[in-house]
Amino acid sequence: MAILEVSHLKKSFGKTKVLKDINFTLEKNEVLSIIGSSGSGKTTLLRCLNFLEIPNGGVIKVNDEVIFDSEKPEYKQDKVIRENRLNFGMVFQSFNLFPQYTALDNVMLARKLKAQNNFKAQKNFNIADLKREFEVIRVECEGLLTKMGLSNRMDKYPHQLSGGQCQRVAIARALAMKPNILCFDEPTSALDPELTGEVLKVIKELKEEKMTMVIVTHEMEFARDVSNEVIFMDGGHVVECGTPDEVFNHTKEERTKQFLGKF
Amino acid sequence: MDTFMEQLPIVVNSLNIGFLQTLKLFFVTLLGALPIGLLISFATRSKIRPLSAFFKIIIWIVRGTPLMIQLLIIYYFPGLVLHQNIWGMAETGRFNASAVAFIFNYACYFSEIFRGGISRIPVGQEEAGMVLGMSKKDIFFKVKFLQMVKNILPPMTNEILTLVKDTSLARIIALQEVIWAGQAFMKGSQGISGAIWPLFFTALYYLICNGILTIILGGMEKKLEYFK
Ligand SMILES: Nc1ncnc2c1ncn2[C@@H]1O[C@H](COP(=O)(O)OP(=O)(O)OP(=O)(O)O)[C@@H](O)[C@H]1O
Ligand SMILES: [Mg+2]
């Protein structure tokens, strides 16, 4: 059973149709890479999955459960969207770390707020329980940063970290929310070449651990290496999809050939 | 009464009382105008067009006309036109009217500062909060607020120092603030008349007050230098 099923996804900005009928599925524990030229709608697709944009059409299913259906207004309610978007994690090109918090606090913030809000919703809550919960979160988040190779940088602020370190903090921050599917939007394109390696290494390690991921990337070598599936997008359509071997070595579509020829 | 040393305690006592009124107006204005200014800045950023347009026009009018006129209108309009005393009697009435005029005026100035401070925060901050499932409220208070404060401190410091001096405008409706108190000794009060030197003392009060505020606000700016 597919963990993610996207069907007939459409998104326009005003009159510009950016996504025109996107369909794909993703199996649990697999990695999907999305490639395509600039402006083909890759970022927009990820933003639709995370509900940073509300799609104009289509259905999104996670674990066979509908989490978005453009025909049904209830899926567009703020509360429903906030809940459903936690199926996905998002790692941005520009990290978007919170500058006023340390690396560890960046990772813990949303988890703590969630715990706190759950507590407040209970009738008679007890502060000691919340404190204990916070402690659990801290240990877990320290573990995540350690896994990212940042055990000695936890109390540093983002401006004291290198780009590669920032991106690894951002990955830990996304993982802290325990998403079913982790999305990356060109996670290394804001980095100096010598720093991309450390981030790509972390993503490969996540693959070993069976994290389900969707990765938009311009690093063709990496896509070939890490993915189970590759999608080539052009003009708001999925032009070609298949295993890395199929897409890179036995390319069918002319447009894909042209695109890959540039690398 | 003739010697300076005899007059000094009388003058200082008077000025102290006046300055207390100045400070009261200052703090009441600050306490009222900061939150109201923040609300107005939200309104001007609202997607509801009529709401944002309405407040933009209000801000335009308030910033485009002298505070002194606003003060005179707010103080006299209810009595002269509506024939109702809504401000209360004597000094209390003058203070209430001044407070309302100052809060209204400064809220508009502050709202523009807030608006600038919020709009300078990259959209990525809000989006990062959203994808982590944070509520709008949490995103504002836990993510954006401190960044906004850092952004607005320098212009806010200017505006607050101006506010200290602007409180003297309430003199126009005879609020008994520190300049009123100093001027009294020119006209004649408590046996002292024709004295200009109390006005120099008055100026000293403003200088000391603004000196202290500069140190406090500068300290806050320093404190927020721990992040970029
Ligand atoms: N908020 C928006 N409003 C209007 N147009 C937009 C908006 N966001 C994206 N677009 C347009 O949609 C198209 C696809 O953009 P998108 O960012 O998804 O492309 P991309 O494949 O990620 O490109 P790149 O490789 O350069 O990152 C572009 O033409 C862009 O101008
Ligand atoms: Mg993009």
- pLDDT class of B193 with cuts at 50, 70, 90: confident
Distance from CA of B198 to the nearest CA of A (A): 48
Q: CA–CA separation, A183 vs B102, rounded Å?
A: 51
The full set of domain ranges for chain B reads: 21-178
Instruction: Decide whether any atom of ligand 1 lies within 6 Å of the A236 Cβ.
Output: no
Is residue B164 over pLDDT 60? yes
pLDDT digit string (tens) for chain A, length 263 residues: 799 999 999 999 999 999 999 999 999 999 999 999 999 999 999 999 999 999 999 999 999 999 999 999 999 999 999 999 999 999 999 999 999 999 999 999 999 999 999 888 888 778 888 999 999 999 999 999 999 999 999 999 999 999 999 999 999 999 999 999 999 999 999 999 889 999 999 999 999 999 999 999 999 999 999 999 999 999 999 999 999 999 999 999 999 999 998 87
Q: Compare CB distances from B128 to A88, A96, A157 and report the shortest one's residue.
A: A96
Q: Which residue on chain B is closest to A178 by alpha carbon?
A: B132
Neighbours of ion ligand 2 (CB under 5 A): A 43
ipTM of the complex: 0.94
- In this structure, the residue with its CA closest to atom 31 of ligand 1 is A39
Q: Compare CB distances from B227 to A51, A85, A99 and report the shortest one's residue.
A: A99
Is B122 in CB contact (< 8 Å) with chain A?
Answer: yes
Q: Compare CB distances from A92 to B128, B138, B143 and report the shortest one's residue.
A: B128
Is B228 in CB contact (< 8 Å) with chain A?
Answer: yes
**Residue A112 to residues A131, A134, A181, B134, Cα–Cα distance (Å):** 10, 6, 21, 10
Task: Order the strands of the A2-13 sheet from edge to edge.
Answer: A16-27, A2-13, A57-62, A65-69
Instruction: Decide whether any atom of ligand 1 lies within 6 Å of the A40 Cβ.
Output: yes
Is the separation of the CB atoms in A168 and A198 below 8 Å?
A: yes
Is residue B2 over pLDDT 70? no
Is residue B198 over pLDDT 90? no
Instruction: Decide whether any atom of ligand 1 lies within 6 Å of the A85 Cβ.
Output: no
- In this structure, the residue with its CA closest to atom 17 of ligand 1 is A43
Is residue B1 over pLDDT 60? no
pLDDT at position A180: 97
pLDDT at position A77: 93
In the numeric block, the tokens 């991921």 are attached to A213
pLDDT at position B173: 84
Higher-pLDDT residue of B2 and A250 is A250
Is B134 in CB contact (< 8 Å) with chain A?
Answer: yes
Q: Compare CB distances from A82 to B133, B142, B227 and report the shortest one's residue.
A: B133
User: In sequence order, which residues have a C-beta less than 8 Å from that of residue A234 and are 6 or more positions away?
Assistant: A36, A37, A40, A255, A256, A259
Is the separation of the CB atoms in B72 and B173 below 8 Å?
A: yes
Burial class from Cβ neighbours inside 10 Å (0-12, 13-18, 19+) for residue A187 reads buried
Percent of chain B with pLDDT over 70: 99
| A168-177, B22-31, B81-90: least confidently modelled range | B81-90
Mean per-residue pLDDT, B36-57 = 95
Q: Which residues of A touch B (CB under 8 A)?
A: 50-52, 82-83, 85-86, 88-90, 92, 94, 96-100, 109-110, 113-114, 117, 157-159, 173-174, 177
**Which residues of B fall within a CB distance of 8 Å from A157?**
226-228
Q: How many Å lie between the centroid of ligand 1 and the Cα of residue A233?
A: 13
Distance from CA of B119 to the nearest CA of A (A): 16
Mean pLDDT value across chain B? 92
Instruction: Give the pairing type, strands A31-36 and A16-27.
Output: unpaired
Mean per-residue pLDDT, B9-33 = 91
Is residue B174 over pLDDT 60? yes
Q: How many Å lie between the centroid of ligand 2 and the Cα of residue A185?
A: 7
pLDDT at position A170: 98
- pLDDT class of B76 with cuts at 50, 70, 90: very high
pLDDT at position B195: 78
Mean per-residue pLDDT, B207-212 = 95
Is CATH 1.10.3720.10 correct for B21-178?
yes
- In this structure, the residue with its CA closest to atom 16 of ligand 1 is A41
User: In sequence order, which residues have a C-beta less than 8 Å from that of residue A154 and are 6 or more positions away?
Assistant: A102, A103, A104, A142, A145
